[in-house]
Structure 1
Amino acid sequence: MFKELPLKQETLADLVERHTGQDGYYSTTIPYLFLSRFSDVTGPNYGVHNPSLCITVQGDKEILLGRESYKYGPSDYLIASVDLPITGQVIQATPESPYLAFKLEFNPSEILDVLRDSELFVQSKGTTKRAMYVSRIDSPLLDAVIRLVRLLDNPQDIPVLAPLFKKEILYRVLNGEQGATLQQIAVQGSSTLRIKDVIEHIMNNFERTIRVEELAEIASMSVATLHKHFKEVTAMSPIQYQKHLRLQEARRLLLSESSDASDVAFRVGYESPSQFSREYSRMFGLPPREDIKRFRMIHEKTINA
């Protein structure tokens, strides 16, 4: 198997590079499949990592979740089973050997379908674990991924075959060494599934003040139990999670609308512009005005390079 993997990884790299061509993120004719290519290392990229399987086909990437670091390369895959505010950065890439990546999005109902149709042992509720992990890729999983990407060359086959290959990919992951962790996002009554409901509520209401008691009621947990399980799943407290969402949305608004920082602060839920500026600086390294100026200078240099 170990001799086969490099050959299969090379096959997948050729497919991804052919369907990207230039640097950037790419959606595909398969709605839940995304590809990316970068010919140099990148600066930090802030965003919400939605439930997905990610494979670095070539190069290396690092994801920061709270204070935790997840590095993965061609021999690994990364799973995120709930929406998580993260910082991502390509840490190995060159023009001769660009960073190439595969991303497959999924939802809990698809995990549940696989569990229902398979003979996998399902842990009834299980222990709450981190909703992000890195695991070693194996030959059967890589085979299924290659089959899915190859459908981009035969779009007429996508409606019938893509759902089957996606189901196989999820089955392989659930059958992997950390599959029990992914199971919990679909098991009714599990702590992970209840925390997912809390996460959705925060994401839909991040700009307003949310009482912890309100979140505890959604999860059917005590406040102390909610804090414990939320941090186990996301590596941060509910308040920290909300703060990450607010600051990421603020940066997006500042970049896209050239809005005043004080106005953006109020729009994302801050009552004090000075507090917003302090917390923005802690997260992004510079106050809002200077950070946006730096970002645009770097972007302009990249375009003119």
Structure 2
Amino acid sequence: MSERIYKQQDELAKLIERYSGRDGVHATAIPSLFFTRRSKVTGSNFAVYNPSFCIVVQGVKEVLLGQERFIYGPTDYLVASVDLPVTGQVMEASSQVPYLSLKLEFTPGQILEILSDSEVRIDPKENAKRGMFVSRMELSLLDAVIRLARLLDNPKDIPVLAPLITKEILYRVLQEQHGATLEQIAIEGSSTKRIRDVIEHIMNNYDTSFRIEELSEIANMSVSSLHRHFKEVTAMSPIQFQKQLRLQEARRLLLSESTDAADVAFRVGYESPSQFSREYSRMFGFSPIQDIKRLRTINV
């Protein structure tokens, strides 16, 4: 790691510490920017990553997408180009050197604006690509991230400068080796854009059963093409994707509303409470009742 990158990361770590203060995920005055601080290694955390650019400034994180593992630390960045249910785990953290990270959310519209401005030639017929990747952090990209975070010290500059610097960050990611992954989410007619439409449909209707033919119509693909492209983007089938969404929402409801497990099973779309309990145990390692008791004990 070069001396300049080391100094930049040290400055960014101090900024995140200053605007975090304690463990947890912290919103900032920049609506799309979030900081995370953890003072100890965590267990598996289940979440849905929306389109976002993520960097770890201190520590190491592991993210599982389906059966695929992504590990990144201070020399890397991670991008999720579409909504993806994942399992995350902080692997290196301590009270002396806490895990510190930054997440910048973005939209396909922002990507499309950059592509329009830069007049990049795009092939809409290019095959769908995995909706998550890890890449090497370059100095020019880190410099833009630092400038965005510094705006928190000058709130009056945020409305004008934050959108411009965010655009620069996304532009620099588009210029690097995985840039085509981002390009494809914004291009009408591309395989990735059509899979994104299917993902959006499942996200909005996760509690409702669907026919695979219905999804293939949304994507304007054959059933076999839909399965192939969906798995390429998300590392799972549409059914597996929906199941993860259902179980994550069920866990959230059980933890926040102290409601009955059978009632939650029906609310998230299961017809059989016993099937719900089996699949919940398979995903989280405990039955619904055991899991919620355990989580409440941990969070006390």
TM-score band by shorter chain is over 0.9
The equivalent residue for 1:28 is 28
Identity between Structure 1 and Structure 2 (%): 66
Between the aligned partners of 2:125 and 2:78, the Cα distance in structure 1 is 23
Between the aligned partners of 1:124 and 1:169, the Cα distance in structure 2 is 23
Between the aligned partners of 1:10 and 1:125, the Cα distance in structure 2 is 43
The equivalent residue for 2:278 is 278
Amino acid of the residue matched to residue 184 of structure 1? Answer: Q
* Shift, 1:121, TM fit: 4.2
* Shift, 1:127, TM fit: 2.0
Amino acid of the residue matched to residue 38 of structure 1? Answer: R
Report the 3-state secondary structure (helix = DSSP H, G, I; strand = E; otherwise coil) of the residue aligned with 1:88: strand
The equivalent residue for 1:147 is 147
The equivalent residue for 2:80 is 80
Report the 3-state secondary structure (helix = DSSP H, G, I; strand = E; otherwise coil) of the residue aligned with 1:125: coil
Between the aligned partners of 1:119 and 1:225, the Cα distance in structure 2 is 30
Between the aligned partners of 2:182 and 2:58, the Cα distance in structure 1 is 25
Q: Deviations over 1:86-114 (max 9, x none)?
A: 11111100111100011000010100111
The equivalent residue for 1:109 is 109
The equivalent residue for 1:172 is 172
Q: Deviations over 1:14-39 (max 9, x none)?
A: 11111111111100111101111111
* Shift, 1:123, TM fit: 3.5
Amino acid of the residue matched to residue 195 of structure 2? Answer: I
Quick check: 1:55 aligned with 2:48? no
The equivalent residue for 2:253 is 253
Between the aligned partners of 1:280 and 1:252, the Cα distance in structure 2 is 12
The answer as to whether partners of 1:120 and 1:175 remain within 8 angstroms in 2 is no
The equivalent residue for 2:132 is 132
Between the aligned partners of 2:22 and 2:263, the Cα distance in structure 1 is 36
* Shift, 1:119, TM fit: 4.6
The equivalent residue for 2:228 is 228
Between the aligned partners of 1:78 and 1:246, the Cα distance in structure 2 is 25
The answer as to whether partners of 1:125 and 1:187 remain within 8 angstroms in 2 is no
The answer as to whether partners of 2:24 and 2:37 remain within 8 angstroms in 1 is yes
Amino acid of the residue matched to residue 72 of structure 1? Answer: Y
TM-score by length of 2: 0.98
TM-score by length of 1: 0.96
For the aligned residue pairs, the C-alpha RMSD in angstroms reads 1.0
Between the aligned partners of 1:49 and 1:87, the Cα distance in structure 2 is 10
Between the aligned partners of 1:209 and 1:264, the Cα distance in structure 2 is 16
Amino acid of the residue matched to residue 97 of structure 1? Answer: V
Amino acid of the residue matched to residue 114 of structure 2? Answer: V
Unaligned runs of 5+ in 2: none
* Shift, 1:3, TM fit: 3.0
* Shift, 1:182, TM fit: 1.1
Unaligned runs of 5+ in 1: 301-305
The equivalent residue for 2:238 is 238
The answer as to whether partners of 2:128 and 2:232 remain within 8 angstroms in 1 is yes
The answer as to whether partners of 1:125 and 1:184 remain within 8 angstroms in 2 is no
The answer as to whether partners of 2:52 and 2:81 remain within 8 angstroms in 1 is yes
Between the aligned partners of 2:264 and 2:44, the Cα distance in structure 1 is 22
Between the aligned partners of 1:228 and 1:261, the Cα distance in structure 2 is 34
Report the 3-state secondary structure (helix = DSSP H, G, I; strand = E; otherwise coil) of the residue aligned with 1:185: helix
Between the aligned partners of 2:53 and 2:153, the Cα distance in structure 1 is 22
Quick check: 1:181 aligned with 2:189? no
Q: Deviations over 1:117-158 (max 9, x none)?
A: 115443333221100000001000000000000000000000
Q: Deviations over 1:152-187 (max 9, x none)?
A: 000000011001000000001001111111111011
Between the aligned partners of 2:199 and 2:139, the Cα distance in structure 1 is 34
The answer as to whether partners of 2:124 and 2:191 remain within 8 angstroms in 1 is no
Between the aligned partners of 1:32 and 1:178, the Cα distance in structure 2 is 22
The equivalent residue for 2:267 is 267
Report the 3-state secondary structure (helix = DSSP H, G, I; strand = E; otherwise coil) of the residue aligned with 2:16: helix
